[in-house]
Each structure stands twice: as C-alpha cells, then as structure tokens.
Amino acid sequence: QVQLVESGGGPVQSGGSLRLSCAASGDGYTNYHMGWFRQAPGKEREGVAALDRAGSASYADSVKGRFTASRDNANNILYLQMNSLKYEDTAMYYCAADQYSVSPYMRSDYDGPPPQVDYWGQGTQVTVSS
C-alpha cells in the first residue's frame, strides 16, 4: 500500500510559477513508477509528467519546456516544478504511483481509456488567472 498526499497548489497569475509536492508513505515507494496528471472541469484526466524508477522523465507536449518532475527517494517526495504557467494549466493536479511506467499516458497520440494507476493522491487545485 502506498499513500500519496499532494500539496503546493493555489492561485497564481499567468506567467508565474508553482511547485507541487507529493509525499508518499507506505512500503516500496522506490519500487513504483510515478506521475503527475491533471483534470480540468468537464475534461478527462490527462497525463502531465511521468518519472520512472530510474529517474527518467517524459512530459506531455503541452508542458514540455515549462514543467519539470523530480523525485527525492530519500524522503519519498515527488515534485512538479511548473513555470510560465498559462490559464489553460488550470486544473486539479494528481500524483500517481504504478508498478508500470505511466509514460504512455503522456503521448500526444494517446487515445485509450482514462488513465488507470495503482494509487492516486487526493489532488491539489491549481488556478491560473489570465
């Protein structure tokens, strides 16, 4: 069992920055592939960033060059640094852990079912004002 708790969301002006954190507890955190997803009102949940156990990252096209995911395995924390925020980044952001890589969900041509992972956090709201 892994428990995930996100923090760091809030209101921010367009062009600003936020850093989201995801604190993981439970057994075997370092054995999981991690990821960040988001869901805006009326839209499906979508992948934002994937970070595998070895630390290799992949990003959705919409956030490449602006968002950076990282993990602190010593303290069981996953981060998402978000720069140059845009109005369209407004969403609930979720941390995820899975035994398999979540990088397929980051692909722009992904057209499968909604993301399914082993564990979700409760989410943290990011609101970008234009």
Please name the helix (run of DSSP H) or strand (run of DSSP E) that holds residue 18, with its range, or none.
Answer: strand 18-26
In this structure, the chain runs to a length of 130
Q: Give residue 127's Cα distance to chain centre.
A: 15
C-beta of residue 116 within 8 angstroms of C-beta of residue 100: no
pLDDT tens over the chain, length 130 residues: 899 999 999 999 999 999 999 999 987 778 899 999 999 999 999 999 999 988 899 999 999 999 999 999 889 999 999 999 999 999 999 999 999 999 999 998 888 888 999 999 999 999 999 8
